[in-house]
């Protein structure tokens, strides 16, 4: 059993890099099939999705582009306080078929936000590809379209996901050991 310590916490390997990479190949094949003949824009959400996006995108055989955006928080002037906005757009995405690439869908709040902001940009359609999905924590309305692995509602790191900024470089996904 592979274990690792990040800062003050112990993590145990949950999904090996071989299994992850095989699953990403399958996801790419599904996307290649579903979008055959179409021009697709992949949109990676930074920071967490950068590794998954790279591995997925290099197996895409479509006429495709990729771009990355980041969710930034700022103090809004409305009553809800902090507002999150997607930043880093550098192209016109109207009428594009967009595949959003996420590292993990947890509560689904981030996903709702991304949907909302993409819809105002008049894209042709939007689908979500996520490496990990926590159905037990999810309270959104529209589930992700391409899911690598459904996982329990526990904290995980690795393959782009972090604990306090660390652990993104682990080639496998690790879950927190509860002590």
- Please identify every residue annotated as catalytic: 106
* Stretch binding ligand IMP (CB under 6 A), from 36-44, 61-69, 82-90, 152-160: 152-160
110 binding ligand IMP? (CB under 6 A):
yes
Tell me which of 21, 73, 95, 107 binds ligand IMP, using CB under 6 A. 107
Q: Which is nearer to ligand IMP, 62 or 108 (CB)?
A: 108
Least distance to ligand IMP, CB of residue 159, Å? 10
Closest CA to 66 of 101, 34, 38: 101
CA distance 131 to 23: 9
Residue 65 CA to residue 79 CA, distance in Å, equals 38
Would you count residue 108 as binding ligand IMP (CB under 6 A)? Answer: yes
Distance from the first to the final alpha carbon of the chain: 16
Which parts of 40-59 interact with ligand IMP (CB under 6 A)? 48
Residues 30, 118, 124, 25: what is their CA dihedral angle, to the nearest 10 degrees?
-10
> What residues line the site for ligand IMP (CB under 6 A)?
48, 103-111, 155-157, 161
């Amino acid at each position: 059993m592979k274990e690792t310590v990040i800062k003050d916490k112990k993590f145990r390997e949950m999904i090996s890099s071989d299994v992850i990479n095989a699953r990403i190949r399958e996801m790419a094949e599904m996307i290649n099939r579903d979008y055959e003949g179409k021009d697709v824009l992949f949109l990676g959400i930074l920071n967490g999705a950068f590794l998954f996006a790279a591995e997925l995108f290099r197996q895409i055989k479509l006429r495709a582009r990729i771009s990355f955006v980041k969710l930034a928080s700022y103090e809004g002037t409305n009553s809800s306080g902090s507002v999150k906005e997607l930043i880093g757009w550098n192209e016109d995405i109207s009428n594009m078929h967009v595949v959003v690439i996420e590292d993990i869908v947890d509560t689904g709040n981030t996903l709702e936000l991304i949907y909302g902001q993409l819809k105002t940009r008049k894209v042709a359609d939007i689908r979500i590809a996520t490496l990990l999905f926590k159905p037990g924590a999810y309270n959104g309305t529209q589930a992700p379209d391409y899911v690598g692995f459904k996982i329990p509602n526990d904290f995980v790191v690795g393959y782009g996901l972090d604990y306090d900024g660390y652990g993104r470089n682990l080639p496998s996904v690790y879950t927190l050991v509860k002590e």
